[in-house]
Amino acid sequence: MAQNGLASRLYNGEAGLNIVGRRKLWFGIAGVLVLIAILSFSIRGFSLGIEFAGGNSFQVPASVGTLDDAEREVNSALAAENTGVEVATTQKIGGPGGDSYELRTPQLSVEQANAVKAQIAEDLGINADQISGNQVSEAWGSQVTERAVLGLVIFIALVMVYLILRFEWRMAVAAVSSLFMNLILTAGIYSLVGFEVTPSTIIGFLTILGFALYDVVVVFDKVQENTRGITANNNQTYGEAANLAINQSLMRSLNTSVVALLPVGGLLFIGAGLLGAGTLKDLGLVLFVGMAVAFLTSILVATPLLALLKNYDPRIQAHNKRVLTRRGALARGEVTPKGAPSPATTDAIDADVDPEAAALAGAAPKVGARPAGKRQTGTRGGRPGGGGNRPGGAKRR
């Protein structure tokens, strides 16, 4: 029984999951999630880091105590100088001179920053030269954003050219649509949860595009293999062949995602969480969220969207019609069937439901099935009948 379990069937590509046939459901869910993300962008916005919003940072040696102690002393110094602001973010960082605490605040004037630095040194009982301060302007964050957008445009253009040359323009459109949805949903999670957006986050966004593209290409390569010369026979619609490709490549995509998420999870939860390497948090977080979303969009969005686009091709439309017409004739007994369709498909066709969904309901060939055929009469083991290899089967004297 274990050999027939879901895990075994997934591994062998025999799960028979109807992904393409339920594309309206996946598109509906994706549309709702995109709408929520866009509303979050416009209402809640993003929690911008100091590099984008502008501000000041103060680094104090970790020898002064715990991170909470350092934050409390810096807040006290900010209040003593009547700055009207408090520490926004804190993190522990490492360096050649040992560990230190970085505390970031909203924008301060040069006079305020110097006064706060002197007050922190006095409160902590250390020299002022042991405290380093930096000021970041909003202009720097704007330059980073412009470069990131330029990099995104160049990446998408190159991806479109590659996919058109490697596959076709419909696959390119479906893949790029999946990439954009991946970006929107990942950014929506950042906006809803309030994760801080830093330059590391932008780098992570560009990184997950490559991973998402790999996932899509793996599935599309199998789709192309299954649909090559599909119009030469009347056994499968294009949607069925695409759905079969998803089942055959699902376990590979899942394994790839899990293997990729494990080191990223270690980077995030061990490096940033347990070891306190705060500089790893921003990059690890966006990679973890983006890779998980990329797996879902490549399976539930890219391939169903491709099947939808292909169904507008007149050649594929005519092919799908021939397949469904043949199955209808088989169901009515008008032709001699080589293998009768399942009752579920017959009932679905009679009920006037979506033809492709009806075909996927039970008439599609099973994953891994081989064409049935009879051996030639008078043969045994693929050899001509008779005694031995000599003509006439003459007996050895």
User: Which pLDDT band holds residue 338 (cuts at 50, 70, 90)?
Assistant: low
Could you read off the pLDDT of 263-275 as tens digits, one per residue? 888 777 776 555 5
pLDDT score of 272: 57
The secondary structure of 176-187 as a DSSP string is: HHHHHHHHHHHH
Find the distance separating the first CA and the last CA of the chain, reported in whole Å: 54
Could you read off the pLDDT of 26-81 as tens digits, one per residue? 999 999 999 999 999 999 888 887 777 778 888 888 888 888 888 888 888 888 88
pLDDT score of 259: 85
User: Which pLDDT band holds residue 352 (cuts at 50, 70, 90)?
Assistant: very low
**144: helix, strand or coil:** helix
**pLDDT tops 60 at residue 396:** no
d(CA 342, CA 32): 35
Distance of alpha carbon 16 from the chain centroid: 22
Query: How far, CA to CA in Å, does 152 sit from each of 45, 138, 149, 209, 210?
Result: 21, 21, 5, 9, 11
**386: helix, strand or coil:** coil
Q: What integer best gives the mean pLDDT of the chain?
A: 77
The secondary structure of 206-238 as a DSSP string is: HHHHHHHHHHHHHHHHHHHHHHTTGGG-SS--H
Residue 226: other Cβ atoms inside 10 A: 18
Task: Provide the token pair at 133.
Answer: 């301060």
Single-letter code of the amino acid located at 94: G
Quick check: pTM over 0.85? no
pLDDT score of 104: 85
Query: In the 8-state DSSP scheme, what is residue 132?
Result: E
**pLDDT tops 80 at residue 172:** yes
Q: Which long-range contacts (CB under 8 A, 24 or more apart) does 74-80 make?
A: 74/103, 74/105, 74/116, 74/120, 76/119, 76/123, 77/116, 77/119, 77/120, 77/123, 78/105, 78/116, 80/119
Could you read off the pLDDT of 281-316 as tens digits, one per residue? 777 788 888 888 888 888 899 999 999 999 999 999
User: Which pLDDT band holds residue 25 (cuts at 50, 70, 90)?
Assistant: very high
pLDDT score of 367: 46
The secondary structure of 185-208 as a DSSP string is: HHHHHHHHHTPEE-HHHHHHHHHH
The secondary structure of 254-267 as a DSSP string is: HHHHHHHHHHHHII
